[in-house]
Amino acid sequence: MASPLTLEILQTLIGFDTTSVRSNLALMDYIKGYLTEHGVESALIYDETEQKANLYATIGPVNRPGVMLSGHTDTVPVTGQQWTHEPYRLTVAQERGYGRGTADMKGFLAVVLAAVPDMVSASLHTPIHLAFSYDEEIGCVGVRRLIDNLTLLPVKPALCIIGEPTEMKVVTAHKGKLAARVTVRGKECHSGMAPYGVNAVNYAARLVCWLEQLALWKRNQGPFEEGYDIPYSTVHTGTIDGGTALNIVPNHCRFLFEIRNIAADDPHRLLAEFRDHADTLMTEMRRTSPDCAIDIEITSEYPGLSTANDAEVVAFVRHLTEAKGTHTIGFGTEGGLFSRILGVPTVVCGPGSMAQGHKPDEFIEISQLELGERFIARLLEQLSIPAGE
């Protein structure tokens, strides 16, 4: 059974509704107060509205690079989902802990925070850094401010472990992501005189079809990267909206799409090809009306993670786990930002499974919390000065 303190902290964390559209300050104030009670100083790095914040703390010697334990505090919404358990209250049943964020990823945060008393009492020769972020779920937005601050520190972390749910398997790679919004502006008129208008929905459909052909090309022609269940870059249109009435040629249409790319693909090159196609269509539209346009705006992006399997960080973390080998995952994390921008070697390894995340009745197996606790205990042993020395 997971420790009572881990479950108590998880209960508290789940009680905060930190859906990305909401503030996370109440949760961060709780964590900051908890750390203060144990003599740990921490800093909050706010967003421009001061309604959200990252948190950073160091336990142990501050003049040495240490091990950074990283996780996000925001969750996806429960709107429209059919829950049989209260989403913002931890329910323990059938060896599972139910609640929004149990798997993704407040379970990891609870495990780490429950170990803080042991971290404080240990004689650490290498520090442990805690890095908790906001707005990961909407494109790894908040952590960028944290990284900006970390680049100014005289000593950066030596390595980073992101506790996203991997069933405590060591993950060394995931794809990058680029998301964009496309807005098509046509010319409205009565549908009985459709040739005199410019149908924004039709042109949006042609753009979506181009993206679908790109997706099929990637599936059939690659490039490919071994290790992934889907070993090629994917292209996906998620939402589309346009028009006002059937008897009006629509003058507007908007859709969102994303590219999830393997390391061998440059998403900006693919986006440039898409822009070229859009420019061709826009020229065609403007033959009827010069006011027509196609606007393409990047809404979010983050790089993929690609840590070499023989890197020191991989050997170090594998030594702490009960899992064998290395793995890839199909979802994104903040790992690519820590690795590429901050230059800190990074792996992903945490309790729970994303198969349970983002769903109604999200849960984490209690046994996964126990594995997480053992992982942190081994980490403390590895970073502590042996008794008597």
pLDDT of 59 higher than 80: yes
pLDDT classification of 324: cutoffs 50, 70, 90 = confident
* Torsion angles phi and psi, residue 187, rounded to 5: -135, 120
pLDDT of 267 higher than 70: yes
At 323 the pLDDT is 78
Mean pLDDT for the chain? Answer: 96
pLDDT of 162 higher than 60: yes
Give residue-wise pLDDT tens across range 187-219.
Answer: 999 999 999 999 999 999 999 999 999 999 999
At 224 the pLDDT is 96
Give residue-wise pLDDT tens across range 330-376.
Answer: 899 999 999 999 999 999 999 999 999 999 999 999 999 999 999 99
pLDDT of 388 higher than 70: no
At 322 the pLDDT is 75
Structure tokens at 328: 């890839």
At 208 the pLDDT is 98
CA distance 333 to 136: 8
**Residues 104, 136, 137, 258: which is the catalytic one?**
136
Which CA distances in Å does 96 have to 17, 75, 102, 254?
A: 20, 19, 10, 41
At 164 the pLDDT is 98
Structure tokens at 195: 């040739």
pLDDT classification of 38: cutoffs 50, 70, 90 = very high
336 DSSP 8-state letter: H
Share of the chain above pLDDT 90, in %: 97
CB atoms within 10 A of CB 225: 20
Domains and CATH numbers, the chain: 4-173+305-383 (3.40.630.10), 176-302 (3.30.70.360)
Question: What is the mean pLDDT of the segment spanning 291-306?
Answer: 96
Is 258 known to be catalytic? no
Share of the chain above pLDDT 70, in %: 99
Is 74 known to be catalytic? yes
**Residues 74, 225, 301, 365: which is the catalytic one?**
74
